[in-house]
Every structure is written in structure tokens, then in C-alpha cells.
Structure 1
Amino acid sequence: MKKNVARGIVAAVLIGAGVWVGVNFASPLEAESNALTPGSAEDPVVTKSYVDALLSNNNGGSSGGGTTPAVDSQLEVVTVPVGKTLMAGQGTEVIVRVGKAIAYSSDASGIADLTGGTDLTKGKAVPTNHLLLFPRAGRGILPDPNQKNGLTVLVKGSYTLQ
């Protein structure tokens, strides 16, 4: 029993000494690191007016030389009448809000149903309120011929009614 108590006391003293050494002698190691001090000559403080001047000289644009054309990021409400097909452009996103829709594709590939995680090939029913992504042109949706009314959809991107 005395052996176990003595071992416990020795362990507690060693742990305490290790913590004390770590707290008291860690600071010099941090000071010797190569970290830059904010406001020094190597890392100067920049004022808001300086940044504003740089942005105004750059016309507020990014420094990257991207050539990606601007895409309309607004959702547009579109009504698709019976007998017409909404043909979506490449990268267009569509959500069917009202009505029953059928997927259309000019080839064997289909439309990506991002909500359901499936591929909708030609002739398959399109679920309502699912986000559809059209990876290429030549694909679209049309109203189910068994319904009297057309479709109401939300479209982000380019499309045509045919």
C-alpha cells in the first residue's frame, strides 16, 4: 500500500514539474520563431484608404484574369404551355413548381436530378420541386400530354421554348 502511495506522489510531482517547465520555458521558443510581427517593416499595417485606392484603380475587379462569361443568376418564372418544350442551355438549372413534366433528351444521356441523385433519361417523369441541372444543350422538359394545363417552372440560365 505504501508503495502505491509513494508511486502516486512521485508521478504527481513529475507531472507538475513538467507542466511548470513547459509554461515557463516555452515563451523564449515562441520569440525565436520566424513569425512576422504585424506592423513591422516586413509586415506593415495597411489603411482602409490605401486598400480603397487600390480597388478603385483596379475598377473593383478581381486580380484574376478569368474569361468566364457572366451568367444570369436570377431565377425566372416560366410558363410552358401544353405542346411546347422548354429546351435548356448548357449549365441551366430548372425547378418544376406546378404541373407534371416529362424529361426530353436528344441523345441517350439525360438530365441530372440533383435533389434525387438520379439521371432522368428521355420519357421519365420529372419530380416536382427537384433541382435539375442540364449538363449540355439539346435537353429539356415538356408538360405531360395527359394534363390540360402547362408547367410553371423556375429557370436559372439560358432556355428556349420550342
Structure 2
Amino acid sequence: MGKVGSWLQTWWRGGDRPARDETPDGPLKVFAVQRLYDRYGHEIYARAAADPVFSAEVSDLAASFREELEQEAPRAAKLLAHKTTLHFYLLGHAHAVLDLLLEAAIRPDDPTSPAATDPDFAAKRLGALFHLAFDGGLLQLPAQGDGPNASRS
């Protein structure tokens, strides 16, 4: 496999030992909207329920994503009706969030970086992605009693 391949595997695992939640599918699975929602969605939606201003900002951002796509790429907007295409579109947005967070960490004094100037940047962006995923059928609310903390009889 070579030195670079070995280094990448070690980096992907976060060190010498495999992470406990490592997936065999790699980055596509890790940044998939379902995984992100499972990890952060409940907290983001709880915050949105408690903070109407935050909720409105998330909804407005989701609407701007839809509007931007429809204006700039009308054919692509129609493709987002397909779950696979929507999944990869949202994956691209998840990558953009990560990219901007990394930029803010490396250049914290950059006044043009939205991630450096807005402490809620990632939460708002992920919330907007979750909106789009729910609208497109990639995410569904669990049926009553189907959550991870549901009691089993």
C-alpha cells in the first residue's frame, strides 16, 4: 500500500487505533446527512425550538440555498428531487461547512470569513441542510417510540 496509503489510513482513524464509530465506507458515510443529523440534528432542532431567531435564521438559510440553486442551475434543481442527487448536493454543502470552519481556525482574524465572525455558523448551516434533507425525503422523523431512548416492552 505504501507510506502515503498507510499514513492516510492512520489519519482517517484519528491515530494508531481505529475510532469506535469508524465506518467502512469512509468519508462519504461520515459526512452523509443522516450521520450528521444523528450526531447534531437533535441539538440543533432543540435550540431552534427554544430560540425563534435562530430558527428563523436556519429556515431563511435553507430557503436561500433552494433559491440560489433554482436561479443558478434550474436543471440541477430538478435533479434534487432524486434522493441520490440530493444526497451528493448536501454532501457538497457539508464539505463547504468543514472548509469554512477550517479556514476560520487557520485564519481566525479574517473579517470576511463567515465561520470566524458567526459563532453559530456551523449550527445554522447544518440546520439548513437538515431542512433540505427532510424536504427531499432523505431524513424522516422517527415514529412515536422508535427513538434510541424508547422503552422496549
Structure whose CA Rg is larger: 1
Between Structure 1 and Structure 2, which shows a larger proportion of strand residues?
1
TM-score (norm 1): 0.20
Between Structure 1 and Structure 2, which shows a larger proportion of helix residues?
2
TM-score (norm 2): 0.21
